[in-house]
Structure 1
Amino acid sequence: MGRGRAKAKQTKVARELKYYTPDTDLSALEQELRAASQRSGSRDDASDDTEQDGYHYDDDQWAANDR
């Protein structure tokens, strides 16, 4: 007994969460995405031939050794 109210409340909360649509600040989102793309752009330039673990791979050297 008593579980009916608890279950009804859980159902109500779940429904509110499912259909909740907060207002989105699109200008703030745009600024955040610009800042993220600028930061990732500077990292891409520094790591063209460098893997994430810090080793440098030279494709020409490997191709010359295969011949």
Structure 2
Amino acid sequence: MGLNLRNAIIHNVSGNNQDQLKDTIVDAIQGGEEKTLPGLGVLMEVFWNNADPQEQKMLLETIEEGLSK
């Protein structure tokens, strides 16, 4: 039986409020563990799929700027 990691991550954070989601993201980043990267990727996918083109553009600009520092 295969584990669907994407669905498991979404299930684990579904129903969380903004503070809980922020804590999840901050903890994953501050922890710096490779195992949290898939979870952050799933949250990024959720954002991207629900963002309008302007929000997507803002995200891309922010990432581009952050990578050039």
Q: Normalising by the residue count of structure 2, what TM-score does the alignment of the two structures yield?
A: 0.28
Query: If you compute each CA radius of gyration, which structure gives the higher value, 1 or 2?
Result: 1
TM-score w.r.t. the length of structure 1 is 0.29
Q: By percentage of residues, which structure has more helix? A: 2
